Structure 1
Amino acid sequence: MEIIDFKILESLTKDAQKSERRRKNMNYHDGESDPVQRMLNAFEPGTYVRPHTHLNPDKREVFIILKGKLLVIFFNEEGAIINHVILDSESEIYAVEIKPGEWHTATGLEPGTVVYEIKDGPYNVLDDKNFAAWAPEEGGINAQYQLKQWLDELHLDI
């Protein structure tokens, strides 16, 4: 049995806040070969996740909000925003399922944001994500600028 409580969320949040990436995950699956990847994922404001999709092999990805607010942005093939959702238990939007082939990114909108993430496995670093050529690499000089542009386009502040 695994219990996810406030202490675990707080510990993960502290680790994310100390991380250069501004996020941190805690795995619950039994390893990379597990057919269902399950984890807690803490997203602090300002974390940049390079837009990607999951194809070849096709994988679904699900985010369920546990604490805070998570912005998930969807793009077309050229990198234009086509949709977005803010997961926030107070607004009663609790989860999003991302289908294979949907270009997406996510970032925290408030400190202490933690989601339960579920993704089809197995995990293979070589084919887990298909990164968007039209978006800066994580840690690159333009990554934070790009994140700010998306937030401005959606009229959101962090």
Structure 2
Amino acid sequence: MKHIDKQLLDDVSRQAQKSDRLRMNYNFHQSLDEKCHRFLNAVEPGTKVEIHRHPTKDESFVLLRGRVRVNTYNDDGSVDESVVLCPEEGLYGVDIPKNIWHNVESLESGSVFFECKEGPFVPHEVERLLHLSDKG
């Protein structure tokens, strides 16, 4: 059994702070081929999570600490919904259905969320990751 405790969150956050991407995953699944991917995602202010969608996969985020903004978008690039997750304020997470454009923005250092989505891992290029700014 793996414990999700303050020490683990601190360790993953420190790795995110040192990362060029300003984020770091800690996987609970043993292989990228597994049917269910469960992981921590530590995100720091300034990390860039591109607007993307997963054509065949639902995705759930539960914020364990910190503050993050989750945005969903319409096909024309306009914001459909924007929510700030903050456990201290009673807003813990979101479930994003497949094929919905979305991104995440860290609003506070040390923010960590638990993420769950269907596997196996498919590189974004294969999933037809599209940037709304590229649509014409």
User: Which TM-score bucket, shorter chain as reference?
Assistant: over 0.9
Out of 96, 99, 124, the residue aligned to residue 97 of structure 2 is 99
- Give me the identity figure in percent: 36
Tell me which stretches of 4 or more aligned residues in structure 1 moved more than 6 Å: none
The unaligned stretches of length 5 or more in structure 2 are none
In structure 1, what residue type is equivalent to 2:129?
N
Where in structure 2 are the equivalents of 1:5-154 lying within 5 Å? 5-55=5-55, 58-125=56-123, 126-128=125-127, 130-134=129-133
TM-score by length of 1: 0.80
Deviation at 1:33, TM superposition (A): 1.1
Deviation at 1:124, TM superposition (A): 1.9
Aligned length: 133
Deviations 1:100-152 (A, max 9, x none): 111000011100000000011111215346232416xxxxxxxxxxxxxxxxx
Distance 1:35 1:89 in 2: 28
Deviations 1:31-77 (A, max 9, x none): 1111110100001011111100001xx10111101110111111111
Specify whether residues 18 and 129 from structure 1 end up closer, same or farther in structure 2 by C-alpha distance, changes over 3 A only.
farther
Partner of 2:3: 3
Q: CA RMSD in A?
A: 1.3
TM-score by length of 2: 0.92
Distance 2:84 2:19 in 1: 23
Distance 1:131 1:19 in 2: 24
